[in-house]
Every structure is written in structure tokens, then in C-alpha cells.
Structure 1
Amino acid sequence: MPSQRLSLQQKLLQKLSPQQIQVIKLLEIPTMQLEQRIKKELEENPVLEMIDDEPVDQSDESENSESESDEFSLEDYMDDDEIPTYKLNANNYSKDDKQVDMPYSSGISFYESLTEQLGLTDLNDQQKLLAEYIIGNIDEDGYLRRDLLSISDDLAFTLNMNVTEQELEEILEVIQEFDPAGIGARSLQECLLLQIQRKKGTDATLLASKILQQSFDEFTKKHYDKILHKFEITEDQLKEAFNEILKLNPKPGGSVNNPQNSSNQVIVPDFTLDNIDGELILSLNQRNVPDLRMNNSYMDMLKGYTSNRKNATKNQKEAVQFVKQKLDSAKWFIDAIKQRQQTLLVTMSEIIEFQKEYFKEGDETKLRPMILKDIADRTGLDISTISRVSNSKYIQTHFGIYPLKYFFSEGMQKDTGEEVSTREIKKILEECIGNEDKRKPLTDDRLAKILKEKSYPIARRTVAKYREQLGIPVARLRKEL
């Protein structure tokens, strides 16, 4: 029998409290989602309530009951002898303040649009149920990335419905007739074909359709000679067909979810920056976020219990225990909201201070190299906290609305010793590629040499990395007739 050993081990573990976890979660979400999160908390916690701008009557709340060794202490819920009532509007707007219109969504969502169109079809109830299931599997770009066999298996296991691939194929064909054209495609080729087939049958569109059907691989790789030879056409005919294809949308879902579409704008800036006589004024956008407090009646209930604890029944004790849990939850939530405010403002203030010259006029060339650690060091906050603040957050400035991520970039030294942002290098790359001869596009090697001539010592592989980050294809795929 193997011998057994006992040993002691010392480990250092960091465990986050429920309050810390709540702060972290609130820190990650942008203003629009915060509004929804607060509404959810209000629905789930009866102790939490919204307040208006009128002062709260707390005359009777200064009478603190004394209880010798009571496990429920009212002091836990008091802040300088007052119930915590935090004004969440960090920029202290009054009703008379000038209201700045913020972007908002007035349209319908992508999936609502498809569901509405489904209601206009002559499918029976079961077919509509299957169609809804397929629509639910379409991604934001408008593609059905899952194969119909997998969907058939899902329906069998989850809804106990035995549906063949052929049945699903027929329903998918109905969905693919919906707007926008190309919706429900399973590949880029199918997406483009669905769109070109809806166009007027001119010579150019008919040729474009043939190229997409029969020579899609050659089309994506821009092997023009092979296409010219295969279809026995002229360069002018090929250009016309290509122009028709280039008008198509490779991401049809984006035409509904497009953030540039003012009727479906969902970007709400988390910060507003005003330049008033050369002074930069930062404020946190809390305009649609309600002010919160804890309900007085529940505080009174807890007071009554602490003053008459000895005579309390079992049911009263259980009720008070429930109230205490809800009071704790409400206080933690209000504290977390307040901490979120402070962290956002501190972080954004340091970003603005770091990039002060840029924020004065919005001149991109004045953006300094800046990484998360730079702001973490200036604020004393953890890098992960700075990352959470900068993720999915936007600032409205006098020169446009920008995501916070936009202001972060790595740096490098030029041959002259000057430190520059990688954003500056990317801008030069874009200009070089934009001005190139499309019949002989610049290779990554050639781009690296051009940058070196401009005192930017960049390796070819780094050029390739920056080019990919800009969403620019390799030279071979940029070639045009």
C-alpha cells in the first residue's frame, strides 16, 4: 500500500468581492447599456428607486436607533447620517441647461426587419417557426454560417421536430428573397450571386453573374487573363462586369446595422469634450441615466426591527433578512455606479491631458504614441481597468465622435531620433497605396523602401502587419485592369 504524506502549502490568492465584480462589470459597458442595466436592477430590487430633482425629506432619518449587539446596523446604510443618495449626473445638468442632441436609434433592428418580412409570406405556421429559427442563426453581416444539417439536428434535439435539409433549403430560399439582397447567404459567392440576380439583365450584369458562378476563384485572385480567355471577352467588357460586381455589398446585414446610418444610429458618446476659449471641458454623459436612492419604507422596516428585535417573530426575522440583502445589494449597486463615474472621468481626463495638443484642434499628426500602460501609470489604476474603460466607449468632441481606442497607438523612433505614432506611419502607407499605379501595385518590399526613404526604418513584415490592420489586401489583389 503506497504511503500517504501530509504537507502544508502556502498560496497567495486574490479573490474579488461581489462589489468589486459589480464595479468591473459596470465599467465594461457603455452608456446605452448602462441605462438598460439600471432598469433591470430597478425591476429586480424593490429597495432601489429613481428620484427626481426635488430634495428628499430625511427629517426623521437622523434619529439613529441604538442597539447593543444587533447584527443589523443602520450605520451600514448611512453616509454622514444620511441615506446614500448619489446624483449620477456627473456633469450636473439642470433643466435649464442647453440640451445637446445625442445620436439615437429611430429605426428597427436587423432581425426585426427580417421578422416583419416573414409575416408577409404565405408560409404556414410550422414553416414560419422554422424560418424564425433560421433567421436567428443569421449573423450580423447577414450570413447563415451554420450548415442546414446542423440546424436540422438542433431542431430535433431542442424542439423535437424532424425536419429534412431539403425542407430547410426551401424555407431558406424564401428568406433569401427578403431585403436587403444577399441576406441568408452561406458564402460570399452566394451572397454576390443573390444580389446580381436581382439586377436588370444587361450584358454587363449577365457577364458578372457568369463570372461569379463559373470563375469565382479566378475573380477573387484577380487572374484577369484566365477570365478573358475563358469567356472570350475584351478588357472593356471585363471592366464593365467588374464594376457591376464592385457595386454589390459583401456584408448585406451591415446595410441595416450600419453605424453610419443616421436612422439606426446606436452610438451614444460616453463623454463630451468642449473647447471653450482654448480650455478643454470634459463631462460624462449621464443624461438618460436615472438618479437612484434606497426606498425609505424599507429603511423604516429595518429601523422598526432594530428597535424591537427581542419581540420579533420568526416571519419578521426572515422578512428583515430579505430586506437587509436587498438593501446591501442596492447600496453596492449605487456605490458601483458612483465608482464607475469616477474611474471613467479620471481615465478620460488623463487621456486628454496626454493628448492635449491633439484634442485642441483634432489634428491627427499631433497624436502622440500612447499605450494602456501610459494611462495606467498616470492614474494609478490597473492596466486591465484602463482596457475596460477604453473598450466600447466613445467621446464626442468639437471635431467628431471617436472611440477611445482610436487614441491609443504604439510608437517608434525615426532615423532622426524623433518618436512618432504608428498611426502616422499607417497614414503614409494609405497615401502611398492610394496614389499607386493600380496596374502595378506597390509590394510590401517596395512600401518598406519608400518608408525608409522617408526616415521610417520599417521592416517588410511590419509593413504587412500595418497593411492588414488597415484592411488593405496584398498587391496582387489590388491589381486593376
Structure 2
Amino acid sequence: MLKHNLQLKLSQKLSPQQIQLMKLIQLPTQAFEQRLQEELVENPALESGKEDTVDIDDFSDNTNDDYDDYDNEHIDADDINIDEYLSNDETPDYKYQANNYSDDDEDKSMPFVAGVTFHQDLINQLNTFILDDDERDIAEFIVGSIDDMGYIRRSIQDMVDDMAFTQGIYTDEATVERILKNVVQELDPAGVASRDLQECLILQLKHKTPTDAVSLALDIIENQFDAFSKKHYDKLLQKFDVSKEQLRKAIDEIEKLNPKPGGAYSGNQKPIEHVVPDFTIRIVDGELELLLNGRNAPELHVSKDYQEMLQSYKDTNEKSSAQKDAVQFIKQKLDSAKWFIDAIKQRQETLFVTMNAIMHYQEEYFLEGDETKLKPMILKDIADMVGLDISTVSRVANSKYVDTPYGTKLIKEFFSEAMKNADGDDVSTLEIKKILQNVIEEEDKRKPLPDDKLAEILKEKGYPIARRTVAKYREQLDIPVARLRKKI
């Protein structure tokens, strides 16, 4: 049975400009520069630099509406008011000169040298072995199965089957195992092509100069790996009948080994991420000063050529269909350029006011550098201060860095929940984590403190938190349990 009913529904949709603006706000400095270059390439009406410009604020008041509807509405060229796009004023209203932008003359290009890759280096080393064609093919296939950390994460049987199906290499497990142990695992760095951590450590110990400590270390890894990994030192002392000093020397030899041999290869390192601070905070005469990275304040203007095109169209008595189409294209690009420049200005204002609010909220920390001075702060606190949406503040905080007198910090690290201390005052969870970290650093490593004891110490210091909360904070600080912090 069919029914007809009338329903009134109110919905809110973001315009394309709003979506693009949010994306611009989220971009850190380097990504913003890349997005800027893309826009300069895509929109010929947009130019950078200090050349003579048109007054973009003289554009039509209905620019944004027209830009929204380009894909759906045909604009008659005769309806375009050309004078709205022409101006004799050589000085643009849009300026970025202000005392809250830092001069930034950093080289925007970072040259690099392409070296030999980790896997290519292993292939090259195979040339030092006498191998027939089949053995060489198998060895190269094994090398190709090694991951970036230097491990083989698949079984011998899987490699045998894969070689047969994909390479047409027919062999058996015994042959692959032999080439793996006698050839591939003899390559540098020591420990490469291991199937697990235990085998990796054994291979590295076998490559070391034999000493009593190395021999004991090898015996421990081969026969008591589980006890060693769980740091059951008393069991090791009893099993091998050695002194604490002898065991300590053996453990020192093990701790010198590299659990990720592939990661140590210089040619295998991923490019270092260069963090460009989006803000700088300075202390001038005891007062905080906030600067926005100058690379976030590009000088943009509308192309002079486009102004001249419109002038030519205006002066032409007989306007062809092609000219009218060209004017429609020009208007679209001019509107797009105006919106982009306005969006950049709004991005800059949003970044600055948000960071300025964060700076003043955490003023005590930025003046002293003591992390225990960080106040509890959530996104809503800053959103209420600056009158922005919480999601906007989140976009500013999540991917931006600030250069402070105490190092470059990720802005989102300044946010934390509040907890009550023994006096009933709100304290930041960051403060509690810092104190927890200090307690663990000062503990006796021969008798590390379990979580319940850590909870008692924090309670004595005025922070009554449960043992499970201590465990959560410890894990967030990437600190292992007491058993794994033990040293002999």
C-alpha cells in the first residue's frame, strides 16, 4: 500500500569553500606550501610575488555564489559587469605585513643523495660467493623476501611454492634452507635474514670475537631465551652456575646487539622528516610573544594579464561567441583566485588567534618551561576563548608545531584532561605523567617498583590515582612493566 506524506526537515550542508577552508586550516606549513603551489599551477589568474596587482576587493559581491554554481549554471557573458573586475589602483588592499609574522628565509628545497638500497646492497654482496645459476636465483629470491628490518617473515615452504609458481624456479626446502644459512645469513649486516629475534641475536653473537662473556651470552640465547626475555636472572644464575658479574657481562654483550639489523643500514633509512614550526614563541622582557611562520603568509595577487584581457573585451565593439566564452572562463578563475586569497587570510587569522589563546592559557609553562606547570586544557576551553568550533581548534592543534624556548613541540601535546589532587584542585594528567616518569627514573633498577607501589608513591605526593590508571599512564609513556625494567 502506497502512502504520501509531507515531512519538513532542516539540514545543514557545508559549501565547497567551507570544506576547502577546513582543509587549508589543517595543513601544516610544508603541506600548505605544496597546496599553494598546486593552486598557482591550476589557476592562471592567481600569481605570487610583489608585481602590480588589481584590487581584488573590488570584485562583485556575488562572487562566492557564482563560484558555487559554476558546474550547474551557465553565466551569460553579457550579464558580467566588467568594471567590477577592473581597477586603476596599483596598490592591493590585501596585505600581509604585520608584526606577528616571522621572517623565514629557509631554503624550501632539500637536496638529497640517492644511495644504494638495502636490498640492492645484499644482492651486490652475493657476488662474493661462488654460486651456480640456480643457487644465485634462489639466493636473490630469499633476499627479496627480507623486509626492511632485516627479517624473513615467511616459511621456507612458502618460498619454495612461490618460486615455483611465480619464477619458474623448482627446488626443495632443504636446498633453500642450505642457501639461507650458508649464503644469505652470512651477508652484512650480521643477523640479516633471521626468522625471529632469537635467531637474529644468535647470528650476531656468532659473528663476534669469542670471549667468555660472548660464549655465555650465546648459551643463554640458545638455551634460555625465554628466561632471559623475562629477566629471570636468578634462574639464569642457577642454571649456568656463574657469578652476578659474569652474568652482567654476558647481558651487556646481548644489549649491544641490534634487534633490527636492516634498520641499521644507512641506505635503508627513510628520509628524515623535517619539522617546520608553524609558530614561534619568544620571551621578550618577561612577556610572551607569538609569531606565525612567515611561510604561512604568501604574497598573492590576481594576474595583470587577466585584467588586460577583460579591458580588451570591454573595448571591443563586436563580441564573438569565443570571446564571451573566454570572459566566462576568466570570471571563474578570478572568483576562484579571490576566494583562495581570502581563504588564506582566514587561515592565518584562525591559526594565530587559536595559538595565541593556547599560549596565554599555558602562560606559566611557556614562561618557565616546567611541564608540571601545564594546566588541564581541552579543545572546548580554547574554542570558547576564541569563538571557534571545537573541530576547527582540533585541526589547528593536531598537525602544527610551535618553536618554544624549550624545544619544538606538537601543539596537541599541550592538551590534557583534568584530575583532582589531594587538595581537590584540578591538575593536568600531563603533570601526573611527568611525576610518574621521574619516580620510575629514580627507582632502584635492581628492584623496580610495581604499579601498585607507584600508585602509593603518587598518593603520597598528593595524586590519589588507582593502580590501573598508573598502568595506563605508564603504557602511554612507553615504559615497560617492573619485571622488564629490572637490571642485574
Q: TM-score, normalised by structure 1?
A: 0.75
Conserved? CA contact 1:204–1:237, under 8 Å:
yes
Unaligned runs of 5+ in 2: 61-74, 128-132
Q: Does 1:15 align with 2:10?
A: no
Q: Does 1:270 align with 2:278?
A: yes
What is the aligned counterpart of 2:408 among 398, 401, 406?
401
Conserved? CA contact 2:46–2:301, under 8 Å:
yes
Indicate the SS of the match to 1:311. coil
1:131-150, aligned counterparts within 5 Å?
A: 138=148, 142=149
What is the aligned counterpart of 2:52 among 52, 56, 66?
56
Counterpart residue type for residue 213 of structure 2: A
Counterpart residue type for residue 253 of structure 2: E
Q: Whole-Å Cα distance in 2 between the matches of residues 309 and 205 of structure 1? A: 94
Q: Does 1:237 align with 2:239?
A: no
Q: 1:472–1:304: structure 2 CA closer, same or farther, 3 Å change rule?
A: same
Counterpart residue type for residue 56 of structure 1: D
Q: 1:459–1:190: structure 2 CA closer, same or farther, 3 Å change rule?
A: same
Please name the residue that 2:368 is paired with.
361
Q: Does 1:468 align with 2:475?
A: yes
**Identity percentage over the alignment?**
50
* Structure 1 position 243, deviation (Å): 1.9
Q: 1:73–1:247: structure 2 CA closer, same or farther, 3 Å change rule?
A: farther
* Structure 1 position 462, deviation (Å): 0.9
Q: Whole-Å Cα distance in 2 between the matches of residues 294 and 129 of structure 1? A: 57
* Structure 1 position 459, deviation (Å): 1.0
The Cα RMSD (Å) is: 5.0
Please name the residue that 1:386 is paired with.
393
Conserved? CA contact 1:47–1:330, under 8 Å:
yes
Please name the residue that 2:418 is paired with.
411
Counterpart residue type for residue 240 of structure 1: K
Please name the residue that 1:43 is paired with.
41
* Structure 1 position 175, deviation (Å): 11
Please name the residue that 1:291 is paired with.
299
Q: Whole-Å Cα distance in 1 between the matches of residues 43 and 478 of structure 2? A: 46
Q: 1:191–1:476: structure 2 CA closer, same or farther, 3 Å change rule?
A: same
What is the aligned counterpart of 2:30 among 25, 29, 32?
32
Indicate the SS of the match to 1:26. helix
Please name the residue that 1:282 is paired with.
290
What is the aligned counterpart of 1:218 among 223, 227, 244?
227
Q: Whole-Å Cα distance in 1 between the matches of residues 140 and 91 of structure 2? A: 51
Q: 1:273–1:60: structure 2 CA closer, same or farther, 3 Å change rule?
A: closer
Counterpart residue type for residue 275 of structure 2: I
Q: Whole-Å Cα distance in 2 between the matches of residues 336 and 329 of structure 1? A: 10
Q: Whole-Å Cα distance in 2 between the matches of residues 29 and 175 of structure 1? A: 45
Q: 1:272–1:227: structure 2 CA closer, same or farther, 3 Å change rule?
A: same
Indicate the SS of the match to 2:38. helix
1:70-469, aligned counterparts within 5 Å?
A: 70=78, 72=80, 86-87=94-95, 114=118, 117=121, 138=148, 142=149, 188-189=197-198, 192=201, 199-228=208-237, 233-250=242-259, 264=272, 266-287=274-295, 290-305=298-313, 311-313=319-321, 315-469=322-476
Unaligned runs of 5+ in 1: none
Structure 1 residues 195-204 or 402-411, which shifts more?
195-204
Conserved? CA contact 1:103–1:267, under 8 Å:
no
Q: Whole-Å Cα distance in 2 between the matches of residues 390 and 417 of structure 1? A: 29
Conserved? CA contact 1:131–1:175, under 8 Å:
no
* Structure 1 position 277, deviation (Å): 0.9
Q: Whole-Å Cα distance in 2 between the matches of residues 129 and 345 of structure 1? A: 55
Please name the residue that 2:67 is paired with.
none
Indicate the SS of the match to 1:369. coil
Q: Which of the two has higher C-alpha Rg?
A: 2
Indicate the SS of the match to 1:237. helix
Structure 1 residues 360-369 or 193-202, which shifts more?
193-202
Q: Whole-Å Cα distance in 1 between the matches of residues 336 and 421 of structure 2? A: 54
